[in-house]
Amino acid sequence: MKQYSPACDQNKDPILAVIKPLLGKATSVLEIGSGTGQHCVYFAKALPHLVWQASDQAMYLPSVTAWINEAQLNNTPTALTLNVCHVWPKSSYDAIFSANTTHIMSWEMVLDFFKGVGETLNTNGLFILYGPFNYNGQYTSESNAKFDLWLAQQNPQSSIRDFEALNRLAEQAGLTLIDDYEMPANNRILVWKKS
């Protein structure tokens, strides 16, 4: 049941270096698209002052649950079944974190994703989004261009999203961009705050 992603292992420390100071005052984080579950347990262990709530679509939860059960941390509750297009948790959170999701989702899902984030974040809460993004309709690297081609072959609805389009959705959801971090492997971390 427990899945392993080499990419998660490679990016966990650079991501943690950025999110640790951002989440210093947070008490609760909702992770959207927990995938294998590796990030959840790694970040929860490094940030014991907050509750790290993993979530994903039902088919991915066995792996997330296996990682959570093995880690035996007291700040990782049972993972939630969450499809961004359906009902979101009734709880609200100080932060929402998501890694490598918007390029996998269809654009319709991305629309619902940002709407849900706006409704589920506490006031002054942070939305932290990691992944590859295009700027001014341009790829930031040759490897991202190749990756986008590969994504389209897997699923025509998947593609690297334009930063400007995502920022418009964030603004519509009541979020303001406060930071854009350059990350290894031609990725970024975008951080919005709910005003």
d(Cα 54, Cα 192) in Å, to the nearest integer? Answer: 20
d(Cα 23, Cα 31) in Å, to the nearest integer? Answer: 13
Q: How confident is the prediction along the chain (195 residues), in pLDDT tens digits per residue?
A: 899 999 999 999 999 999 999 999 999 999 999 999 999 999 999 999 999 999 999 999 999 999 999 999 999 999 999 999 999 999 999 999 999 999 999 999 999 999 999 999 999 999 999 999 999 999 999 999 999 999 999 999 999 999 999 999 999 999 999 999 999 999 999 999 999
Task: Summarize pLDDT for 7-24 with one digit per residue, the tens.
Answer: 999 999 999 999 999 999
Task: Convert 62-95 to b/e letters by CB count within 10 Å (16 or more is b).
Answer: ebbbebbeeeeeebbeebbebebbeebeeebbbb
pLDDT for position 6: 94
pLDDT for position 161: 98
Asked if 15 and 39 touch (Cβ cutoff 8 Å), the reply is yes
Residue 166 backbone dihedrals phi, psi, to 5 degrees = -65, -40
Asked if 79 and 55 touch (Cβ cutoff 8 Å), the reply is yes
The single residue listed with the structure tokens 């490094």 is 46
d(Cα 162, Cα 136) in Å, to the nearest integer? Answer: 7
